[in-house]
Structure 1
């Protein structure tokens, strides 16, 4: 009985340390720059925007020096990355890789927009926004390509054209979305704001 109490107490202390110190996927981390590193490569690796990397590290240029210590800012949680990757998989399966990145970017842009909810989860589950939520396709696992596309969208975040919408003109007759300004066409998807 004493061992069980000790285990429970130790587990509680460990959990409290994680919760109260902000450890986990959302915590900042340190990174030592290696030969061949770029802000873009580091952003892709950690799923953080190049702009945020520069801002947090007070950088005004893209120059890096081997051995330089960078702070890696917090990123989205693993569960939000997974959810976003599953949406990308369901919405852009069969589309070019760039289209998958663009779909993820639309969700990130919506999180930043005052017109939409403030979290990835809320944006994705907002009523009648994404067909895969309604038809259950969101529950299927994401491919490695969709997961990579999410990390690239996170690294690219804030550098695009601000697309808030995408649609396949062959699959929708929605006239409202067609009134929006087209930002780019990738594969069968039209992206707009």
Structure 2
């Protein structure tokens, strides 16, 4: 009986010791776990060569601790490539107004436009420019007067060279299109191969003019040299 009692006591003691050992190991394991200390961001940044201002500027989010932690672990990082501002679209340059190659007074321009209006009445803008071009070609030719006014008022065989001057149609105001046609002709971009004549083959009575080399036909008018 005594032996059984002693065996029971020994077993109880062993169990107690084992339990105490387990508790001690657990306590040690818990005690050995790293204690998270409060991080002093300024001191840690100085150790890594950074400061909070750098971190905030780089991340633009001072509360983003994950980015801060990565920055502190690897302080030498290439700066993000800045996006270049897109270049503004180049504005289409304004088209400069064509400068006239021939300069006329306002009075002479008005006379010129009234002749074009009378001679090319009912013709297209291109046709009006062509009539004005013939007048300027005559100014340049040694066979005609050397001014616009002189060409318009030229008398040939007892009559005016241009019928509107003869019948008075030239005295009517010029249209805006006729004025523009004169300005266009003055730039001298297209000289119609130096044509110095034009006529309407449906009504022209002069047979001589029909023998002139034809350069171009525009509307009802034939232009010749």
**For the superposition of Structure 1 and Structure 2, which TM-score range results when normalised by the shorter chain?**
0.5 to 0.7
Match status 1:173 vs 2:201: no
Q: Deviations over 1:103-144 (max 9, x none)?
A: 000000000000000110010000121000000001000000
User: Which structure has the larger Rg over C-alpha atoms?
Assistant: 2
Q: TM-score, normalised by structure 1?
A: 0.64
Q: Which residue of 1 aligns with 2:167?
A: 135
Q: TM-score, normalised by structure 2?
A: 0.55
Q: Which residue of 2 aligns with 1:188?
A: 220
Structure 1 unaligned blocks of 5 or more: 1-33, 50-73
Q: Which residue of 1 aligns with 2:95?
A: 37
Asked if structure 2 preserves the Cα contact closer than 8 Å seen for 1:105 and 1:157, the reply is no
Q: Which residue of 1 aligns with 2:122?
A: 94
Match status 1:150 vs 2:206: no
Q: Secondary structure at the match of 1:93?
A: coil
Given the alignment, which residue of 110, 125, 129 partners 1:82?
Answer: 110
The separation in 1 between residues aligned to 2:188 and 2:93, in whole angstroms, is 22
Runs of 4+ with deviation above 3 angstroms: 157-160
Q: Deviations over 1:141-173 (max 9, x none)?
A: 000000000000001356431010000011112
Match status 1:163 vs 2:200: no
The separation in 1 between residues aligned to 2:139 and 2:189, in whole angstroms, is 11
| Larger RCO (CA under 8 A, 6+ residues apart) | 1
The separation in 2 between residues aligned to 1:98 and 1:158, in whole angstroms, is 11
The separation in 1 between residues aligned to 2:184 and 2:202, in whole angstroms, is 27
The separation in 2 between residues aligned to 1:159 and 1:134, in whole angstroms, is 26
Cα-Cα RMSD: 1.6
Matched residue count: 130
